[in-house]
Amino acid sequence: MTDSLTHRRGDTFGLWHASARLSDRVRRLRDEYFAFRERDHFRNEVMPFGTGSSWDRVFCPHNWTVVPEMVPFLVGYEDTLAVCAKPVAFDEQLYNRPLPLRRAEFFASVIERHLPVQILDGELIVGGQFNTALSLTLTRDETADYDHQEQAFLAQLKELDHLGVGNCGAIPGHLIPNYAKVVRLGLRGIVDEIEPLIEARPDDVEGNALRCGLIRVARAARRFARRYSAEADRLAGETRDTMRRGELLEISRILQKVPWEPAETFHEAVQSLWIVHMLIMAAESYPGPGLSPGRVDQYLYPFYRSDIEAGRLTQARARELIHCWWIKHNYAYDYQGRVGNNQGINSSFGQLITLGGIDADGNDASNPLTWLMLDAIGELNLLEPKPNVRLHRNTPPDLLRKVVELVARAQGSPFLLNFDEHSMEGLAWQGLPRELLWDYAPVGCLENTLQGNDRSGTVDVNLNLAKAVELVLFNGRDQATGRQIGPKTGDPATFADFDAFAAAFGVQLDHLVDWIIDVNNRADAIRARFAPTPFLSLLVDGCAESGKDITAGGAEVNLLTVEGVGLATAVDSLLAVRDAVYERERVTMADLVGAIEANFEGHEKLRRMLAGKCPKYGNDDDRADAIARDVSRHWTERTRRHVSPTGKRYRGGYLSWNYWVAYAPKTSATPDGRKRGTYLSNGTCPVTGCDHQGPTANTRSTGKLGLETAPNGDSHTITLSPSLLRDDEHLDKLAGFLRGYTTEGGTALQINVIDPETLRAAQADPAAYRNLLVRVTGYNAYFVTLGKEIQDEIIARVSHGA
């Protein structure tokens, strides 16, 4: 019994580490990845490639503008990358061709001749360096036009950011390419579909230019894979290890075949998938932002099953292949590895895999590969790929229980839990046909999309909802700058009742939605005009058919997403105004505005009353939650009215990334008793410390938001004390909670299981806690790499939760 207790404690409370069951090969590869400083023989750091022209541009600021911390450095990145760019032979004649074709030609040259090819010792899945900066291949005149438009966009973006309204940009990734099709048909199969389109539409000159570009890059990818095949051959000739020689010859054989030909074995399918995934990262010049493999346990399962049935594959070998494949994803971070700790939250790219969920008939779709992959997640203890499990009403109890055990074992951090019924309801609201929805999967952190045909532009626009409260209080003025940035909705002291206040809030919110979307439309148009990505377009359904690059709206599903930040801060502010000013008359509006103007300096009594004695969102209080629902539906419905110049409809979501920190100093004090600088609320979470009724009440408040109008998906995080997961009985309770969440909660949930002592210890001694993963706003991060502010916020949340 004592043994069992010790064991249990070790499992439940010990820090999550890589499993002792990892094979020597995998352990070595994993350690090699973490050896950032020592690993001189291989680095996946950014490699710029240019045309050599004096006006060449190899970096797109609009790709990075949702990372406001980077904005001051964009010029530096642009210049240094341009200076370092390796020239690639580029035929002057190409400048006469349409841009998508030019870009295709350039990308093809890079991967056929320049992108380094390197195989690490022992690895079974190959394809190493993919971090690029690629020339836009613009003419001198186009460059002038591009620069002009980009600068105009940047000026507006900086203003939005400076004022704390939000940020936006045309962000790469954040989609699931049609990997399922690549493994099934090969790139050849995709080319076979494009060629007849060209023949059938001889007059579609522009479309056919793109289609020719798609074929060009598909063939280049084949040549690129064969460069790896040749490298494997070379290494096979050099090695004295007969076992390794056999592996290298097999790798060589596989890369002669895939991704061009259909995969026929599990190993071939995984290799085909990885090489294509890696080339998309290279094509978009951005290492893995939300470029997500999707439902890997579904589309890889036929290969796994037939190999196992035929006796070609053992489970142990399959496990090792999965490990080798997944380690590769982590190299997206390689360029940060040597910079040191405190990378801030940018240390998470989010190549999200999805396991479980339902099939086309609504039945549970889990299979033996689902289980194998769940094991692999627990064993590897790595940041990427980020795992998501789709749960639904009929998730088998043993699978749910397995997920709960992993959550408990790994401090909760590795998992996003996505809830099918509510997620699908949102996608239906957004206008997608119901019969397609069963096969959805999230990308990046938690953003729901369809697979293979959907570019939903998640995190392209991030809006600070709490800013609208400030604008109502100051009649449309930004408090810090004194500038009139919103409509004049009147002096709030003259408002007759709460309805008048709420109406003014709605007007300000509409203005902010319209404004930020207007700025983002510029970024969307710039990318469509100047930065087509033919290799990605090849892999997303609709582009070849429509003859439009994915950046120009060629995908079958085209959306742009506005992510709401600070929902609960805004809601609690409205609640405090209703309660303290209009219902209990504890303070006049004029005095409240005065106190906020003074950032509550000298008004601590009032501030404490507002913070402690007014209703708060997140407590299953129907009257409070109704306001939250109104706010949520108001801005998301406003958002949905907008369509970008490239035909992409806007939709809402709640992924606050780290903006609840970034915009805190740029938002005035708020009527909920928050001072300027105190963090805004995160995702759909209540304001930290304001949910007093526990996780079921918090969950029901989330459910009442009516989140179908925010179909992107909604970040809801709860923190549980480890004592709650201390034995089988309590793990069953958590499983019961998740089952209940399916009907009562929102679209997605993350659970942190951690005690404040561990976090404080990690803060004090980062080296000893390097692999402590936590989940923040929908993405995993190594705790010790987070900035101190965010670390402190997590500790505050955990302390409250415990």
Partner 1 sequence: MTEPTGILFNIQRFSTEDGPGIRTTVFFKGCPLTCPWCHNPEGMECQAQTVWQASLCMGCGECVEACAEGAIQATDQGISIDRMRCRRCGRCVDRCPGGALELVGREVTLTELLDEVRRDEVFYASSGGGVTLSGGEPLMQAAFAIPFARRCREAGLHVALDTSGFASVDRMAEALACVDLVLFDLKHIDPDEHQRITGVPLDVVLANLDRVVDAALPVWVRTPVIPGYTDDVDNLRGIARLLRERVPTLERYDLLAFSNLCTGKYAMLDRPFALAGEALFDAERMESLCEAVRAEGIDVVRWSGPTRSALSEGSLA
> Which residues make up the interface to partner 1 (CB under 8 A)?
1-2, 4-5, 8-9, 13, 604-606, 608-609, 612-613, 620, 693-697, 700, 722-724, 726-730, 732-733, 735-737, 739-740, 743-744, 755, 757
> Of 1 and 310, which CB lies nearer to partner 1 in the complex structure?
1
CB of 378 to partner 1, least distance (A): 20
Q: Please say which residue, 327 or 606, places its beta carbon nearer to partner 1.
A: 606
Give the type of residue at 414. P
Sole residue written with tokens 């780290």: 658
Structural tokens at position 204? 């579609």
Tell the smallest beta-carbon distance from residue 668 to partner 1 (Å): 21
Task: Please answer whether residues 631 and 472 qualify as being in contact, where contact means their C-beta atoms are separated by less than 8 angstroms.
Answer: no
Rounded CA gap, 134 and 15, in Å? 41
Cβ proximity to partner 1, 86 vs 605, nearer residue = 605
Tokens of 563: 């992510």
Least Cβ distance, residue 421 to partner 1 (angstroms): 13
The most distant pair of C-alpha atoms in the chain lies apart, rounded to whole Å, by: 87
Q: Report DSSP letters for 573-588, one per residue.
A: HHHHIIIIIIIS--S-
CB of 704 to partner 1, least distance (A): 11
17 or 113: CB nearest partner 1: 17
CA distance 557 to 602: 53
Shortest distance in whole angstroms from residue 5 CB to partner 1: 6
- Smaller CB separation from partner 1, 732 or 792: 732
Minimum CB distance to partner 1 smaller for 600 or for 657: 600
Give the number of other Cβ atoms within 10 Å of residue 802's Cβ.
Answer: 15
**Residue 227 or 739 with smaller CB distance to partner 1:** 739
CB of 664 to partner 1, least distance (A): 23
Query: CB 612 → partner 1: shortest distance, Å?
Result: 4
Residues across the chain: 802
What is the nearest approach in angstroms of partner 1 to the Cβ of residue 667? 23
* Nearer residue to partner 1 within complex by CB, 39 or 760: 760
CB of 395 to partner 1, least distance (A): 11
CA distance 124 to 244: 10
Residue number, 387 or 695, with CB nearest to partner 1: 695
Q: How many CB atoms lie within 10 A of CB 156?
A: 18
Position 102, amino acid: R
Strands 649-653 and 441-443: unpaired
User: Shortest Cβ distance from residue 609 to partner 1 (Å)?
Assistant: 4
CA distances from residue 789 to 341, 495, 660 in whole angstroms, order as listed: 14, 38, 11
Q: Which is nearer to partner 1, 518 or 727 (CB)?
A: 727
Give the chain's radius of gyration (CA, Å). 26
Show the DSSP H helices in 581-712 as ranges: 589-597, 604-613, 622-640, 659-662, 694-703
Distance of CA 109 to the CA centre of its chain: 30
Hey, what long-range contacts does 254-259 have (CB within 8 A, 24 or more apart)?
254/229, 255/126, 255/225, 255/226, 255/228, 255/229, 256/225, 256/226, 256/229, 258/183, 258/186, 258/225, 259/182, 259/183, 259/186, 259/187, 259/221, 259/222, 259/225
- DSSP summary character for residue 286: S
CB nearer to partner 1: pick between 385 and 756: 756
Least Cα distance to 683 among 801, 614, 776 occurs for 776
Shortest reach from residue 744's CB to partner 1, in Å = 5
Q: How far is the CB of 710 from partner 1 (least distance, A)?
A: 22
Partnered with residue 391 across adjacent β-strands are: 419
Compare residues 226 and 739 and give the one whose CB is closer to partner 1: 739
